[in-house]
Structure 1
Amino acid sequence: MPNLGVNIDHVATVRQARQTNEPDPVWAAALAEMGGADCITLHLREDRRHIQDRDLRIIRETAKVKVNLELATAEEVLKIACEVKPDQVTLVPEKREEVTTEGGLDLLRQPEKVKAAIERLQDAGIAVSLFLDPEPAQLLMAKKLGATAVELHTGQFALTRGDAQLAEIEKLTQAGQQICELGLELLAGHGLTYSNVLPIAAIPKMSELNIGHSIIARSIMVGLQQAVRDMKQLIAG
């Protein structure tokens, strides 16, 4: 059964909408952990639209489970990551105009920059995952650049239905096999919900699923602990 990483960014989004102190993503991280989360994921964006530096530092000090920090390859946030030392950093692309991360890194376009970021983080004792589309050339480059894990971008899968979705599942399954054959840890995330997660959880050797929006949305109705428990039970089933 894959581990469950709970992304708490959207809790911070609600807080920042009013520029106040609630809801507190630190509290959300604790509740997610109590509900059975195996990992807390948060994205420290350059524009600080949701998670703030303070959130990261307190969660790193208080979380009893793995802390996975999503980052762009920008100097400011890389410096913070090396200081705070989360268990893992997932390098992601980032654009100011996007609502959320729209796709995977393009390692073929910027290999030197990504490689430098990977080496810097690993020198600080941090495991590094790369957020990638299920493209063979990109996955091969992840191995060449020295990453320890790949998180497959499941956004296109989440947008499709019927035969198109079956094709996306096959593409992700083949990518998962390639990742494992390269000796990298296999993770997946983006757009996963209670209604579509099972085919992704069933991909052989899937290690971890990172899910945010769907869990936080459900938590409004049933509470965060219960929302996390529901997702854990669904994945287990």
Structure 2
Amino acid sequence: LLVNVDHVAALRNARKTAYPDPVFAAQICQQAGADGITVHLRRDRGHLRDRDVQRLKACLDIALHLEITAHDEMLRMAVAARPAMITLVPQRRAERQADGGLDVRGLDVRGLDVRGLDVRGQCVVLANAIAMARKQGIKTSLFISPDKRAIELCAQLGAAQIELHTGAYCEDPSLLQLQRLRNAAEHAHRLGLTVAAGHRLTRQNVVAVAAIRHIDELNIGHAVITDAVMMGLQRSVKAFRNAIDCGVRERTLRAVS
């Protein structure tokens, strides 16, 4: 289990405060048994900031996975942070497949040359990014839909891992969608890729995905944070009620004296 703490950073940034601290949240996840922390460093720094990534790397004893787009600036930052894994993800709508994964099917990998690839539409040059990370000893994962051709392209591009986009299954938890994930994981394993999965996973639908052979890692963020809010809301309200009551009692004592 790798927990994504982006939503903690988004909550912090919404009020331009120093809290809640995503690094402290990551430490709580570590203490609770998470195997790693995943964060998405956006080009616009909409969630995590560079300093957050540096602090996470310094304080965690578990794996840090960094999601970025394959732009030079982001790659330099990611390589300098030296995470356990870099996952290349889409940021613009044009870089996504219909169900959300990075659209690698538009790449022509015949006669692969890591100096550049023919690209359809807005697809980024992934081979250079993978090669740059590999040169620094950092493994690379590609966030894709459970598509056989896409998996084969990832293997040809030199990725160490794929992360299967589970959105379609979560929207339609049918045997058909579950079998797509099973087939994709099996195909990736045969090609020598390790397999992760994530997106829209909850405590209810994650059980079937975790049972799939060859899926070694699950990335979950939104559901973990929403569960934390709902599970901890009563405790938080009671704590504030007690704090306010203390203030009211103090005011009453001052008035009497």
TM-score under structure 2 length normalisation = 0.80
The reply to whether residue 107 of structure 1 matches residue 104 of structure 2 is yes
- The match for 1:133 is 145
Amino acid paired to 1:63: L
Q: Distance in 2 between matches of 1:96 and 1:141?
A: 20
TM-score for both structures, normalised by structure 1: 0.87
Q: 5+ residue gaps in structure 2?
A: 110-116, 118-124, 233-257
Where does residue 27 of structure 1 map in the other structure? Answer: 24
Distance (Å, rounded) in 2 between the aligned partners of 1:106 and 1:96: 10
For structure 1, the residue ranges without an aligned partner over 5 or more in a row are 224-237
Runs of 4+ residues deviating >3 angstroms: none
Instruction: State the SS of the aligned residue for 1:207.
Output: strand
Instruction: Please give the alpha-carbon distance, in whole angstroms, between the structure 2 residues aligned to 1:95 and 1:14.
Output: 22
Q: How does 1:1-237 map to 2 (within 5 A)?
A: 4-95=1-92, 103-110=100-107, 112=117, 113-161=125-173, 165-222=174-231
Opposite residue 162 of structure 2, the aligned amino acid is: V
Larger radius of gyration: 2
C-alpha deviation, 1:221, in angstroms: 3.2
Q: Distance in 2 between matches of 1:196 and 1:15?
A: 29
CA distance in 1: counterparts of 2:61 and 2:148, whole angstroms: 35
RMSD: 1.8
2:69/2:89 contact within 8 Å kept: yes
Residue 222 of structure 1: how far off its partner (Å)? 3.2
Give the match for residue 235 of structure 1. none
Contact 2:99 2:145 in 1 (8 A): no
Q: CA separation in 2, counterparts of 1:61 and 1:126?
A: 17
Compare relative contact order (CA 8 Å, sep 6+) and give the higher one, 1 or 2.
1
Q: 1:32 to 1:138 in 2, by over 3 A?
A: same
Question: Aligned-pair distance for 1:220?
Answer: 1.5
Instruction: Give a deviation string over 1:36-56, Cα, whole Å, max 9, x none.
Output: 000100000111111111110
Tell me the distance in 2 between the aligned counterparts of 1:114 and 1:9: 24
Measure, in 2, the Cα distance between the counterparts of 1:151 and 1:63. 22
Give the aligned residue type for 1:214.
Answer: A
